[in-house]
Amino acid sequence: MSEELKFHFIVDGDDFTSAGKASVQVKKNLRQLGLSPETIRRVSIAMYEGEINMVIHAGGGVADVTVTEDYIEILLSDKGPGIKDIDQAMQEGFSTASDNIRSLGFGAGMGLPNMKRYTDYMDIKSTVGVGTDITMRVNI
């Protein structure tokens, strides 16, 4: 790979049942590029967690994935309510999801921790009332 590859996705905020479309598509694309199964697994799980967060909390958003020779970068951007206390949100088990979301098996407070667990670099920029931008990188 000599050039960067970029994929852009719009994450639909209304459709909970189709959440994961972008990450499943990324998984497919990375497979075609011949990346290792473990790298693909890490990228696609981190992205899925981010996608689900945007659907649950922010009414959707956009996802941009860049594949370079050295790493895969995922940028998630939404115009949702923002995260009040990022340190608290990063704690395993902390969640503000509704009971309805929990009944679907989400809202366990493991989303952001999983994103961190599966990536080599993660940065959260969030402003209450404005939105959240998350950058994640997985080294190849």
* Site residues (vs another protein, CB under 8 A): 16-17, 19-20, 23-24, 27, 37-38, 41, 44-45, 48-49, 104-106, 108-111, 113-114, 117
By C-beta, is 2 or 92 nearer to another protein? 92
Q: How far is the CB of 27 from another protein (least distance, A)?
A: 7
- Residue 120 has which token pair? 């080599």
Q: How far is the CB of 101 from another protein (least distance, A)?
A: 11
The secondary structure of 48-63 as a DSSP string is HHHHHHHHHHSSEEEE
By C-beta, is 79 or 140 nearer to another protein? 140
Question: Can you tell me the distance from the alpha carbon of 81 to that of 78, in angstroms, rounded to the nearest whole number?
Answer: 9
Q: How far is the CB of 66 from another protein (least distance, A)?
A: 19
- Cβ proximity of 100 and 112 under 8 Å: no
- Cβ proximity of 19 and 92 under 8 Å: no
Q: How far is the CB of 16 from another protein (least distance, A)?
A: 8
Enclosing H/E stretch for 70: none
By C-beta, is 16 or 71 nearer to another protein? 16
By C-beta, is 23 or 132 nearer to another protein? 23
Closest Cα to residue 49, out of 80, 19, 79, 87? 19
